[in-house]
Chains A and B, each alone.
Chain A
Amino acid sequence: MSLVMLTVAAILFSAGTYLILQRTLSRVIIGLGLISHGANLLIMLAGSGPANPPVIAGAEVPPIADPLPQAMVLTAIVITFGVTAFLLALALRSYLLTGTDAVEDDIEDRRIGRLGQSAEAGEAAT
């Protein structure tokens, strides 16, 4: 495994994690894209070192790249693509329904928030 590529994967993961923790849905989706790119890169690295040629009929180069991870990454990219497209459609739907791009609060969180507010209001009144 090449250290440079591993570092790139690490950067993709950390940037993706940062973006997922944001409140804005569009940033979350970009973050998810980065994280899955990082994972795909790791799979590619699992196959072979950098600059090894792919399997070519008749080629006499001894270290050839393992074709299996490439096939797996293709599958993974297609799956992530499909799910991300679905998520974008959901984000649009959410924007049309609520008018904002933010991830909404959990129902329970909102209930507890309201309880806290009413408790504070009660304290202020007494």
Chain B
Amino acid sequence: MTWLLPAVVAVPVLGAGLTIIVGRRLLLQRAIAVAGVSFVLGAAIALLISADTGAPVVTQVGGWAAPAGITLVADRFAAMILTVAAAMLFVVLFYAMAQLGRDALDWWFHAKYLVLMAGVALSLVTGDLFNLFVGFEIMLIASYVLLTVRTGPGEVRATISYVIINLVASALFLMVIAYDYTTTGTLNLADLATKMADVDPAVKSGLSMLTLVVFGIKAALFPLFMWLPDSYPTAPTPVTAIFAGLLTKVGVFVIIRTQTLLFSQDEPSTLLLFVAGATMTAGILGAIAQNDVKRILSFHIVSQIGYMMMGLGFLSVAGLAAAILFVSNQIIVKTGLFLVGGLVEAEHGTGALDRIGGLLHRRPLLAALFLPLALSLAGLPPFSGFIPKLALVQEGLALDRGLIVGISLAVSLLTLFSMTKIWGGVFWGEQTDAEKKAPPGMVGATALVVALSLAAVVFAGPIVGLAERAASDLIDPAIYAELVLGVGR
């Protein structure tokens, strides 16, 4: 089983190389890409089952024992997010093949897509801070190139600011690594967790803040989110969908991992809760002011990140479980919403609300796909977004944090409002003529995402149980340290 863990990173990279070697044979490229993504999905499920049955897979790369060597860990949290991420990468690949297939510019799309997948997988399973940097960079470099699939003025402008911001964040990340190494002499996360206990609290809070800023930029937290709504909407839909679903969530994953493992504390963190409330509010106010489907959805990404921070801010088992549920639910819902937005755009050539309308009569199928996802995003029962939101509110009230609960409920209402804005603009109103019909492959892939989101409600019981077990693993850093350091020796 241990070979699966390095393989989730190695197979996509090898696949990317192969797609380049086979050259301009589209069918072969597609076969390699599908095989690579399916392998990772299968491996992720196997790792998740193994982690949940009490035998998490841990590998010491190259056989070097834990503190010196690089560790790869698939505990419940990592395996769960990896599974959801791989499922989305799988579905969006088919959507992309239906949409971009015949476009001559996209000969290397599959290679970039597989490299992105390798970066996401490495960032999720690595147990070493410098390796995490490498994983993030692989993911980001692939994302830079994917953003410039089309090199028009708009894409170049958006990508330049995106690259600059991420380079600055990477330099700050290197600073975090340097400071961590100076204070503790190790970069292995498990080893860091045990040694952080002896570090001077002032130094520790400095490190904690710097780490939060670095991943706050990557995860688009308030006030560091300004790059996101500017750069994401310019890319082709499959690319935006996968960015929206995955990239910021990997940032959130690392924030949850570092805050619980390295800088854990016993009581709710007022700072994190403040950031959570501000992120929600700023994101949703931005979304309300927009007038384009993809831009509205991009601001929603920011707003929803706030809820994940809220769950983390409680720093309790129930809060973390809600945050984990929220992350995995958002990956599905957000990807799905962008895919529906892409369908509308593919048929009309624009996503501007004032230039389209009346889709409810002409394309009732699109409306049927959009509605459950939109209501899930707003957190209405019985859709999948309701369960994590309910858990957040309950935990907030149990911990006597009424203000953040109030903000989160108000933001939920505003989310519903901005969804009705899309609904009113796109699906109601005067009927407009479409240029063409979206290929059935795109509609089918979107339907699969909707089905997954609905399945998350049907199987809510086991999923909530899994998230609670993952959260109780996270709350005690000793469990992770035991897992990594105990196996290596």
Contact = CB atoms under 8 A, between A and B. Distances in A.
B94 interface: no
The main secondary structure of chain B at its interface with chain A is: helix
Interface string B137-171: 10011001100100111101101110110011011
Q: How large is the interface on B (under 10, 10 to 19, 20 to 34, 35 or more residues)?
A: 20 to 34
Contacts of B151: 93
B182 A36 contact: no
Contact of B171 (A1, A25, A35, A87): A35
A55 interface: no
Contact of A42 (B144, B153, B170, B178): B178
A65 B230 CA distance: 45
Interface stretch (A56-64, A68-76, A116-124): A68-76
B164 A28 contact: yes
B181 interface: yes
Contact of B230 (A32, A36, A106): A106
The main secondary structure of chain A at its interface with chain B is: helix
Q: Which of B140, B156, B168, B174 has the most CB of A within 10 A?
A: B174
B285 interface: no
B178 A94 contact: no
Given A32-B168, A107-B230, A93 B174 contact: no
Contact of B178 (A46, A87, A103, A108): A46
Nearest to A108: B230
Given A39-B175, A75-B130, A87-B163, 16 more contacts: A1-B182, A28-B164, A35-B168, A36-B171, A39-B172, A42-B174, A46-B182, A69-B178, A72-B177, A79-B134, A90-B148, A90-B160, A91-B160, A93-B156, A103-B161, A107-B230
Interface of B: 130, 133-134, 137, 140-141, 144-145, 148, 151-154, 156-157, 159-161, 163-164, 167-168, 170-172, 174-175, 177-179, 181-182, 230
What 4 pairs between A and B have smallest CB-CB spacing? Answer: A39-B174, A42-B178, A46-B181, A46-B182
